[in-house]
Amino acid sequence: MLARPALPSFDYVRANNPDEVVRLLQEHGAAAKLLMGGTDLFVRMRDGVIRPQIVVDVKHLPGMRAIEYDEGAGLTVGAAVTMNQLARHPQVQTHYPLLAEAANSVASYQVRNRATLGGNLCNASPAADTAPAVLVLEGRLVLHNPQGEREVAARDFFTGPGQTAMRENEFLKAVRLPPPPEGSAGKYLKLGRNKVGDLSIVGVAVFAFPDGTKPSGYVFRIGLASVAPVPLRAWEAEEVLATHSPGEETFALAAEKAMEAATPIDDVRASAAYRKVMVRALTRRGLERVWEALE
Amino acid sequence: MAELTSNPVGKNTPRVDAYEKVTGTAIFTDDLPFGPGLYYGRLVRSPHAHALIKSIDISKALEVPGVKAVVTGQDFDTRIGLYLVDRPVFAKDRVRYVGDPVAGVVATSEDIAEEAAKLVEVEYEELPAVFDPVEAAQPDAPLLHPDLGEYKVANFIFPEPGTNISEHFRLRKGDVEAAWPRCAAIVEDTFRLPHIQHVPLEPHVAVALWEPSNQVTLWTSSQSPFAQRDLIAQSMGIPHGNLRVISPYVGGGFGGKAGVSMEVYAVAMARAVKGHPVKLRMTREEEFIGTTVRQALVAHTKIGCDAEGNLLAMETEYYFSGGAYNDYGVNIVRAAGYSCTGPYYIPNVKGDSYCVYTNMPIGSAMRGFGMPEIHWGIEQIMDQLAEKIGMDPAEFRRRNCVKTGDIILTGMKMPAIDLVACIDKVTKAINWGKKEPPSAPHKKRGKGIAIMWKAPAMPPNPGSSAIVRFNEDATVNVEIGAQELGQGAFTVVAQMAAEVLGVPYEWVRVSAPVDTKYSPYEWQTVASRITWSTGNAVKAAAEDARQQILALVAKHWNEDPANLDIKDGIVISYKSEREQPLKDMVIYGLPNENFEGWKGGPIVGHGKFMPTYVTNLDFETGQGPRAVVHYTVGAQAVDLEVDTETGQVEILKIASAYDVGKAINPDLVLAQIEGGAVHGMSSAFEALKFDERGRPLNPNLVDYRIATAADAPREIHGDIVETPLEDGPWGARGVGEHVMVQTAPAIANAIYNAIGVRFNDLPLSAEKIFMALQ
């Protein structure tokens, strides 16, 4: 019923190379869990939700804690880069301020010293604060497996609460983001019960940039957290914004569509009804803020 | 060396514990070393809100390697409790809330104890449960304590056997029925407060050692080392002299560490493994449901006033959800009864305050002790009455608030206070009456005010004592049994002792930890009573020591003690201008002429204080000459914004003013005011939630959101009013609890001012506010 006083016992292995990780995953199957920051894993172990026999620490593998930016290739963030590392990285702040903003909204400063981008995404909580940003920035997840590696688009990654497209013998090595489009702007709005440290009741990321090929002259992307089994894009809302000229009416219509895309649940944090209308309110607010920045 | 502070009373001396706490060297109970013989305990808790225990099988748990003992209710015959002895040491024949301990497992590690606890097999027969106090008070409600009539109870508490009512306090004054027709405005409504928890930084922890010689020691994070000694000694059949309670610093109490909660389980488990200390500590989750909570309340209240705004009558019923055991909670309900009007003079009053058993966590002391609960409704009704007759709510309060010399609801004459001055201070600080613009078009701004009173709620005769003794260099040790909870008790007693003794503040140490074997008696560190009660004892002890010193030196100099004084650690004579440093005499005494013998000796001063004037109240009417020792009063005003698109509230400013009689340390008073305002915000915006079977939904810090530093208002303004208390040291009275009592209704009044919507039920979630706006 209640959480244990401390973690149950388990074996800890610090992995030295990617192949060792794959071998351990194949050997132990579901009894093995990967450790990065541990801010979700250990909580779930203490709560008795999971009880892995072996915990494989992957954050010391080469490249796992590196952030690399290249004008042509874009940004590569090692899966074990911490939220604080990400949020204060100069090139992330300059070229991907939306990602920095989202990372900085996760939990509290102390937790952000441990929590990682990869962990946040692989944990696949519908409330993951970085997921909407990675979705609208069209990120791709680099998965290591026995064959080498493969990339999965963020939009295809989340398959259910706590479920991802990652196979049992795979692990996340890095997240790649394409170079930011010229003149882009973004905003992440998070509704919590208090100002710091809460899980999102609703999270909305808005990202936009000029694009002459669109009837409206702009591409707008909207990512939602905490309002469906998985973090998701509000495709119909985005379509409205691609086809209607930006302004109050369009934003209201798009916000309505975003609300329709949300299929939230009632829980101890908020009701589904409140969450839905908050998607509308925050989407409209996010669109207005981003539009101000674009203009 | 830092500068020395003479005559420190009224000055902002630094806390005596500041350095230890800032550097992390302060010792708390869980830090104490106990060596390799230490065992750990874990509790087996009921998954049901109400059930009979058919059987308990501990055999599988006992087989686990490392398990040393398993104890159950069958091992103990007695109950425990402060005012009403209603709580078994472990649930024996029935469980009464989700989390009720049915067994304790002792093992060589916490992990083993936890694993083994899962193997204790308990067969239950579920019973109908009742969670709402109004339902539970009905004659046909499921009965939680069929044996209520057999429980030992304090002579001022009145349970009603055969029902779930563990206390019923009646207040009858004047004639309410005759007064209603004379009222120009009447407001009648029902207000509800949910359970909340104290959320101390340091969860409960206790270590007990039962020696083979039957000497028992309990190390505990406690506001009440002496009360714990008394209650545990009685219930476990230990002679008081054989039970020693040692309590290091307490990492926050707020009432949750008053009396006995989980500590008795540690002692019970230690008895089964004599010679080994047993450590029992609550997880954060257990802290929420396995220690104590603030009682929930349903209040039906009706108040009326005439066209000029004079309050004429009040009728109220308070139904407190006391939870499974009301051993401490009954006195909260009594306090709510004898203070049921709030800080107002009302000539006609009919009040009924009920403590009702419910299948909920144990309701017990929490900062304010019944007052935040009753002020939630009262302070909103006052605003509504003011609005009805077209009077400014602050002016309405000035007119009706209790004043010095008033004969208040119990028939007691109100000791000197100045609540009007408090109202004046906060209205000025908040720019009362000035409508200010919100920061954005989708926001609405509002201001609200609320006032309060609270008396220390205690038995009539809780005692304090103190010892003051000198070291060779004339530094001083003050010994008290009162506890440092973060509120600054040790600092103010050091200031008081230094002031009386004429030594610099920096020379005074306060002996810690509190240890019932060595510390002088103190009832409990509760009820905002320490500055006043322990302060009086320390002042008396220091005066005793001072008189010993002056008598000795006067004899030595052949002078009249009346001409002597002590300044900065030196005895001086205003007549002969002679000087005698304390350091040369407070231990060794003084030599006679030509060293023909000596006089004096180590200086040790003793002091005590106990109020002797509180009377019992009439059972039928609640009337009596002196219901309480005194009241502390205060006002708060809130300036806030409501985001109409989300329902979120941002508190821009809270202004508080309290009449503390005399601020022994003004900075510490202001620190209480700041902490109280933020604590009050938490009480307005968050609550414990339960499912339909009484199981907690948010017993953790993920989903029980207390206000953080980031949520605190940009400005918390504090004002201190000083109307001396007749029997307070330097006129001081307590202010530890009062600072959060009326915060929630002040916020609710400000929200009404902003958006025109009233909320009768807490918590004020953003969702609730948003939905009300639709």
Q: Are residues B547 and B659 in the same domain?
A: no
Does pLDDT of B490 surpass 90? yes
Which of A47, A104, A189, A195 to probe the B interface (max B CBs under 10 A)?
A195
Name the residue type at position B713. P
CB contact at 8 A, A35 and A56: yes
Q: Is residue B322 part of a domain?
A: yes
Phi, psi of B504 (to 5 degrees): -60, 145
d(C-alpha B613, C-alpha B610), whole Å = 9
Q: Which of B98, B283, B708 sits opposite A195 (nearest CB)?
A: B708
Q: A29 touching B, CB under 8 A?
A: no
- Closest CA in chain A for residue B695: A1
Q: Are residues B304 and B420 in the same domain?
A: yes
- Model confidence pLDDT, tens digit, residues B167-209: 999 999 999 999 999 999 999 999 999 999 999 999 999 999 9
What is the arithmetic mean of pLDDT over B446-454? Answer: 98
Domain of B268: which CATH number?
Answer: 3.90.1170.50
- Model confidence pLDDT, tens digit, residues B737-762: 999 999 999 999 999 999 999 999 99
Q: Are residues B247 and B306 in the same domain?
A: no
Contact A196 B285 (CB under 8 A): no
**Tokens 């909204």 sit at which residue?**
A105
- β B632-643/B443-454 pair status: antiparallel
What is the arithmetic mean of pLDDT over B502-524? Answer: 97
B139, B142, B145, B148 alpha-carbon torsion, rounded to 10°: 10
What is the arithmetic mean of pLDDT over A174-182? Answer: 97
Q: Are residues B553 and B586 in the same domain?
A: yes
Q: Is residue B54 part of a domain?
A: yes
Q: Are residues B602 and B639 in the same domain?
A: no
Phi, psi of B582 (to 5 degrees): -60, -35
pLDDT of residue A196: 87
Neighbours of A215 (CB within 10 A): 9
Q: Are residues B620 and B604 in the same domain?
A: no
Q: Is residue B321 part of a domain?
A: yes
Does pLDDT of B1 surpass 70? no
- Model confidence pLDDT, tens digit, residues B380-401: 999 999 999 999 999 999 999 9
Name the residue type at position A230. V
Q: Is residue B421 part of a domain?
A: yes
Q: Is residue B264 part of a domain?
A: yes
User: Of the residues B217, B247, B281, which one is the last residue of a structural domain?
Assistant: B281
Does pLDDT of A82 surpass 70? yes
Q: Are residues B91 and B221 in the same domain?
A: yes
Does pLDDT of B377 surpass 90? yes
- Model confidence pLDDT, tens digit, residues B53-63: 999 999 999 99
pLDDT of residue A1: 62
Confidence class for position B461, pLDDT limits 50, 70, 90: very high
**Strands (DSSP E) found in B183-295:** 185-193, 205-210, 216-220, 243-247, 278-281
Chain A contact set for B648 (CB, 8 A): 191
Q: Which of A1, A193, A196 sits opposite B47 (nearest CB)?
A: A1
Does pLDDT of B2 surpass 90? no
Domains located in chain A, CATH noted: 11-57 (3.30.43.10), 67-177 (3.30.465.10), 186-294 (3.30.390.50)
Q: Are residues B497 and B566 in the same domain?
A: yes
What is the arithmetic mean of pLDDT over B64-75? Answer: 97
- Model confidence pLDDT, tens digit, residues B289-345: 999 999 999 999 999 999 999 999 999 999 999 999 999 999 999 999 999 999 999
pLDDT of residue A197: 87
d(C-alpha B247, C-alpha B30), whole Å = 11
Q: Which of residues 108-137 of A touch B (CB under 8 A)?
A: none
3-state DSSP: chain A helix, strand, coil percent, rounded to 5? 35, 25, 40
- Model confidence pLDDT, tens digit, residues B674-732: 999 999 999 999 999 999 999 999 999 999 999 999 999 999 999 999 999 999 999 99
Q: Where are the alpha helices (DSSP H) in chain A?
A: 18-28, 41-46, 83-87, 90-95, 97-104, 109-112, 117-123, 130-136, 154-157, 235-243, 248-261, 272-294
What is the arithmetic mean of pLDDT over A225-251? Answer: 97
pLDDT of residue A295: 84
Does pLDDT of A216 surpass 90? yes
Size of interface A-B (CB pairs under 8 A): 70
Tell which phi-psi region holds residue B237, choosing left (phi > 0), alpha (psi between -120 and 50) or beta. left
Q: Are residues B748 and B648 in the same domain?
A: yes
Q: Is residue B104 part of a domain?
A: yes
- Is cis: bond before B200, omega within 30 of 0? no
Q: Is residue B287 part of a domain?
A: no
Q: A4 touching B, CB under 8 A?
A: yes
pLDDT of residue B304: 98
* Segments forming the whole domain that contains residue B501: 18-27+462-609
Contact B283 A196 (CB under 8 A): no
- Model confidence pLDDT, tens digit, residues A30-61: 999 999 999 999 999 999 999 999 999 999 99
Chain B contact set for A193 (CB, 8 A): 685-686, 705, 765-766
**Strands (DSSP E) found in B546-631:** 564-567, 570-573, 579-581, 590-591, 598-599, 604-609
Whether the full predicted model's pTM is greater than 0.80, yes or no, is yes
**Tokens 């919590």 sit at which residue?**
A192
Contact A5 B110 (CB under 8 A): yes
Angle between helices B535-557 and B489-501 (to 10 degrees): 20
User: Of the residues B231, B256, B281, which one is the last residue of a structural domain?
Assistant: B281
Residues 6+ away with beta carbon under 8 Å from B146: none
- Model confidence pLDDT, tens digit, residues B654-663: 999 999 999 9
pLDDT of residue A2: 83
**Tokens 């029992």 sit at which residue?**
B280
Q: Which of B283, B698, B770 sits opposite A268 (nearest CB)?
A: B698
What is the arithmetic mean of pLDDT over B555-582? Answer: 97
State percent of chain B over pLDDT 70: 100
Closest CA to B677 of B744, B732, B632: B744
pLDDT of residue B543: 98
Q: Is residue B91 part of a domain?
A: yes
What is the arithmetic mean of pLDDT over B12-32? Answer: 96
Q: A168: distance to nearest CA of chain B, Å? A: 30
Domain of B728: which CATH number?
Answer: 3.30.365.10
d(C-alpha B255, C-alpha A277), whole Å = 40
Q: Are residues B467 and B568 in the same domain?
A: yes
Contact B767 A274 (CB under 8 A): yes
Q: Are residues B471 and B426 in the same domain?
A: no
Does pLDDT of B555 surpass 70? yes
Confidence class for position B3, pLDDT limits 50, 70, 90: confident
Q: Are residues B677 and B754 in the same domain?
A: yes
State percent of chain A over pLDDT 90: 97
Contact B285 A5 (CB under 8 A): no
Residues of B annotated as catalytic (active site), given as ranges: 737
Whole-angstrom CA distances from B261 to A190, B280, B289 are 39, 12, 11
Q: B738: distance to nearest CA of chain A, Å? A: 24
- Model confidence pLDDT, tens digit, residues A102-127: 999 999 999 999 999 999 999 999 99
Chain A contact set for B284 (CB, 8 A): 3
User: Of the residues B556, B590, B609, which one is the last residue of a structural domain?
Assistant: B609
Does pLDDT of B78 surpass 70? yes
Residues of B with CB under 8 A from a CB of A: 42, 45, 47, 98-99, 110-111, 114, 281, 283-286, 289, 645-646, 648, 685-686, 689, 695, 697-700, 702-703, 705-708, 710-711, 765-767, 770-771
Domain count, chain B: 3
What is the arithmetic mean of pLDDT over A4-18? Answer: 94
Neighbours of B172 (CB within 10 A): 17
Question: Around B413, how many Cα atoms within 13 Å sit in the side-chain half-sphere?
Answer: 4
Contact B770 A196 (CB under 8 A): no
Contact A194 B645 (CB under 8 A): no
